[in-house]
Every structure is written in structure tokens, then in C-alpha cells.
Amino acid sequence: MNAFWLSYLTVREALLKGTLLFFFVVSNIVIIFFLFAIDSTNGDLSIFGNPITPRGIPDFNPVDFLFLNIFSSSTFWVLLFGIFATAGLIPAMLEKGTVELYVSKPISRPLLLLSRSIGACAGIAFNLIYFAGAIWLIIGLKTGIWHQGFLLAALTVIPLFFFYYSVVALIALISNSTGFAIMFALIFWFFSSALNIREMVMYVWWDNVVFHRVLDLLYYATPQVSPMLESATKLIGPDIMKRTGLSETAGFDSLPFLYSLLSSSLLYALAAWRFSKKDY
């Protein structure tokens, strides 16, 4: 119960921080845009009168194409805004004068850290559910197609963000700096994307087996942001990624989520261990 209240306060704190509020405002602008832009009165789906016609992809459902584009672009901004909005929450808890108030309460430090992280992710989750739900409702009402795949894909971004946030939590706890946590999280995202295509991009840097195995180890030992995003996108259409040439396989792959669950658990455990041993 103690942990619940701390998570609740974290959500309130996150909402009061300008970045999350900005996130909410941007979400509303995009929702209003789609409310007025999408039209399917004459049977063809269009945006401001321009029909959605995916060129070069035969028999492609325009609704799938629309959801694919919305999901791909919005997840980028959700993750980016999410990191900016929540990276400061752990350093804020560790500020002198604040940390003493929390660690002197009858709640273990690992639970304190986890509650704070859950609270940070819950703030993002509410915003994401609100945004995805509104978009899904608008397109559903206008086209009569209630696309469950899009909703499922949007929901998978919540655990994805929680796994990704383990990197922020660990770095924020070690550095006690919001700026450093944001910077490291963004570099990690870029690095994670590169690791996803390491055979094509990184192996050629140095043709050495040990180096290749180190890259493989890093890929499996850290949250797999890009593979998770890729896999989530596949929920929008069973073969959508394959047909657009963005992925080699068609179906949803749960392995990146499983690996990320394990690696983020390790990162959270490291952060909790560090937090438990530190003097404040």
C-alpha cells in the first residue's frame, strides 16, 4: 500500500512537470487533427481530401497503412517525450532534504525505487492510453473498422517503456543528474538500434570473434528497444512489416520482450542494490 501511494504521488509530480503536460497538450493537438482530417464518407479513406493509397504495395489495406504510420511516428515521440518528462523524477527523489524523508519511512529502498519507476511509467501509460484510445475511436467511428491490432500494439509500448526506463533509473541513481540520465538514455536508444542490426553495421567495424560476441552479449543483456518496437508494429497487421520490407518475419515476436524483461530486471536490481548501499 505504501508503494502505491508513492507511485501515485510520482504520477502527480510527473503531471505537474511541464514536459508531461506538454506531452498531453501535443497529444490533444494530434487527436484534434485526426478528428478533422480523416474522412471516409465516399468509401475511400482520405486525409484532408487526399486519398491514402500506399504506392507499390498491392492489396494493402489503407486503414492498416494509416495505423502503421501513426504508430511508427507516435512511438518515437512517446519515447522521446517520455524520457524527457520522467528522467528527472528519480534525481528529484534523491535531492538532499527529500531523500531523507523517504528513506526514513518504513518502506524498503528497492521498493521505493521500483514504486518511483512504476509511477513514472504510469504517467506515460495514462497519456499513451488516452492518445491511442482517442485515435482508435476517431478512426473507428469514421471508417467503421475497429482495429484491435493498433490498440494491442499501443499497449505493448507500456512494458516497452518500463523496460527502457530501467536504463534511466540506473543512470539517474548513479549520476544523480537528470541531464546525464536523458543524454545516456538517448544514446542507449541509438546504440540499441545499432545493436539490432549489428551483423550488418557493427561486425564490419572489427572482424574479431570476441568483439562480435561482446556485441551479442550487449544485445541480450540490455533492453531491446528497437526489436520490441518492431515486434509491436507487427501487431497492427500480421504481415504488414514483411510486405513493406521493414522486417523479415511476419508475426509478433515475444522474445525481445522476454529478453528485455530479464535484462531490465537485472538493471533495476543493480539500481536497487546501489540505492540500498548508499549513504544519504
Binding residue (CB under 8 A) for another protein from 24, 102, 180, 191: 102
50 binds another protein (CB under 8 A): no
Minimum CB separation from another protein for residue 97, in Å? 4
51 backbone dihedrals φ, ψ, rounded to 5°: -65, 145
What is the number of other CB atoms lying within 10 angstroms of the CB of residue 124? 25
- Which of 93, 87, 78, 82 lies closest to 179, judged by CA? 87
In the chain, what's the furthest Cα-to-Cα distance? 67
- In the bound state with another protein, the residue whose beta carbon lies nearer, of 105 and 213, is 105
In this structure, what DSSP letter does residue 171 have? Answer: H
**Grid cell of 242 as nine digits:** 514483411
Minimum CB separation from another protein for residue 6, in Å? 6
Minimum CB separation from another protein for residue 22, in Å? 17
Contact characters 60-99, another protein, x per CB under 8 A: -----------------------------------xxxxx
Minimum CB separation from another protein for residue 245, in Å? 48
Residues 7-36 that bind another protein (CB under 8 A): 9, 12-13, 16
H/E run at residue 51? strand 50-51
103 binds another protein (CB under 8 A): yes
- In the bound state with another protein, the residue whose beta carbon lies nearer, of 6 and 168, is 6
- Which of 111, 106, 100, 95 lies closest to 172, judged by CA? 95
Binding residue (CB under 8 A) for another protein from 59, 207, 248, 279: 279
Binding segment (CB under 8 A) for another protein, from list 42-50, 102-110, 183-191, 267-275: 102-110
CB 244 within 8 A of CB 184: no
CB 9 within 8 A of CB 123: no
Binding residue (CB under 8 A) for another protein from 32, 44, 51, 100: 100
Binding segment (CB under 8 A) for another protein, from list 27-35, 54-62, 105-113, 139-147: 105-113
The residue count of the chain comes to 280
Minimum CB separation from another protein for residue 221, in Å? 25
Q: Three-state SS for 2?
A: helix
Whole-angstrom Cα distance, residue 214 to residue 258? 20
105 binds another protein (CB under 8 A): yes
**Grid cell of 21 as nine digits:** 503536460
Whole-angstrom Cα distance, residue 50 to residue 273? 55
2 binds another protein (CB under 8 A): yes
Binding site for another protein (CB under 8 A): 1-2, 5-6, 9, 12-13, 16, 95-108, 277, 279-280
